Structure 1
Amino acid sequence: MLASEFKTKVLPLSSKLMRFASQLLHDQDQAQDIIQDVFLKLWQKKDQLAQVENMEAFAMRMTRNRCLDLFKAKKPVLAQDDFMKQKAVASSDLQQQIELSESALLVRQIIRDLPDIQRTVMHLRDIEQYEYDEIAQMTDLTVNAIRVNLSRARKKVRDELIKQNDGK
């Protein structure tokens, strides 16, 4: 693969990879480091990339694996909830934004507490809008396993939200 092909086939994936890594790590700086590392490894293997059928799925899997390696190394991961706080301050209806912000933070916390595979499948399907077949390529799961994990993740989030709202 030539540099021009790399620029047209691999580099455009950076925003999707960044969102995915940020969601898994909850740390923008670590996510950027992961993406930089993934691109470096892809560049080093540029001669073998012609054999890759789906470059996007391949890069997503590399990103996921690198994030999991980081978790296994027990490196601290910090959540970045400042974005939601900044959004609330910028709004004209501050009270409504605070309520939405609190709900969004609660949902993010519930999702964060899901098992890794459920969190990953939920992110890929509901946030990144990937098809089940694409998720299967990225995660080495069957489509049925993806559906089951997604269903369980959504049910857990729904049940926890209901439980939290009933407690108020």
Structure 2
Amino acid sequence: MTAEEFEKEAFALRPELKALASRWLGTPDDAEDMVQDAMLKLWAMCADLRSPIAPLARVLVRNICVDHMRRHHYTLSIDTTDVPDLSHGAADAECIDRMMAVVDSLPTAQQIVLRLRHIDGMSMADIAKLTGGTEVSVRKVLSRARKAVREQYLHKM
């Protein structure tokens, strides 16, 4: 790709990339910096690039934003409006019983993984060895179990 072709495509892509970075980071100043970094990396690869560069540019911006967020330890606030406040007299035993009833209603594999992880405190590697699966499969089962527990627990309220 020639410098003129790169300049033309980069100029056309810049607003889209800035909007993408803004969605990731939330601040226009940081977004502009991330787009600038992506453009710099693309410019370094200019001789090897072919048109269109938009897909590569979007991936670069996304990865740069994620790296930035990891370095700066961004956290998102969790909206707790749908989580009940248990400090206003609700009996802890009742809540625990409801939670265990929800866990008991899960499929067997999800019950086992959830209990091994949260009640017995086992690591993912140990659970994988015990169940004969991989750590990745254990993480998937655990994630699905947590999601199901949350949905069922809040649905029964």
**So what's the TM-score if we normalise by structure 1?**
0.42
**So what's the TM-score if we normalise by structure 2?**
0.45
Which of structures 1 and 2 has the bigger CA Rg?
2
- Structure number with the higher helix fraction is 1
Larger RCO, structures 1/2 (Cα 8 Å, 6+ apart): 1
